[in-house]
Amino acid sequence: MLDRDLAAIYGVKTGRLNEAVKRNADRFPGDFMFQLSRGYNVKHLPYAFTEHGAIQAANVLNSPRAVTMGIHVVRAFVQLRDLLASNRELARKFAELERKLATHDQAITGILKAIQELMNPPAPRRRGIGFTADF
């Protein structure tokens, strides 16, 4: 999430957000936030925040809206994580079902072939009439 979008959510100006982040730089490691190499304004390149960085930004801002929105952001990320986990679980169950169906299809095919063989038995081998040297 870009700094300007996060500032709008928290109800502060982008400069105010970036100022609070710079004052608390030790709370924002590289996996929480990073600066983009391109942006609309070359003088002030935008910062991009991960979910942890967005939550941490709410913690360093003192506005009441930032506190309220920080709680909402945490809940939104938890719901998103739950949704992704349920989709993974659903995909896993579908894959398992497909494997079972493939196994069942092979078993059903084998049963049908056995029934067909029973319905069309091979002609019995008859011995010829008279004396033969074949046994």
Q: Provide the pLDDT for residue 86.
A: 78
* 48 pLDDT above the threshold of 90: yes
How far is 94 from 46, CA to CA, in rounded Å?
42
Provide the whole-model pTM. Answer: 0.56
Q: What is the pLDDT of residues 56-89, one digit of tens each?
A: 998 899 888 888 888 888 888 888 888 877 777 7
- On whether residue 125 sits in a domain, the answer given is no
Domain count, the chain: 1
CA distance 40 to 17: 17
How far is it, in rounded angstroms, from Cα 41 to Cα 32?
22
Neighbours of 53 (CB within 10 A): 23
**pLDDT for 14:** 92
pLDDT of residue 128: 67
Question: pLDDT tens digits, residue range 83-135?
Answer: 877 777 777 777 787 777 777 677 777 777 777 776 666 676 776 677 766 65
Does the residue 135 lie in any domain?
Answer: no
Residues in the chain: 135
CB atoms within 10 A of CB 18: 20
- 127 domain-assigned: no
* Residue 62 domain-assigned (yes or no): yes
Backbone angles phi, psi at 39, to 5 degrees: -170, -175
Tokens 């982008």, located at residue: 14
Tell me the β-bridge partners of 49: 33
CA distances from residue 105 to 97, 99, 114, 118, 119 in whole angstroms, order as listed: 12, 10, 14, 20, 21
Q: Do the domain assignments include residue 60?
A: yes
Does position 49 have pLDDT exceeding 90, yes or no?
yes
What range does the domain containing 47 cover? 3-118
Give a yes or no: residue 24 inside a domain.
Answer: yes
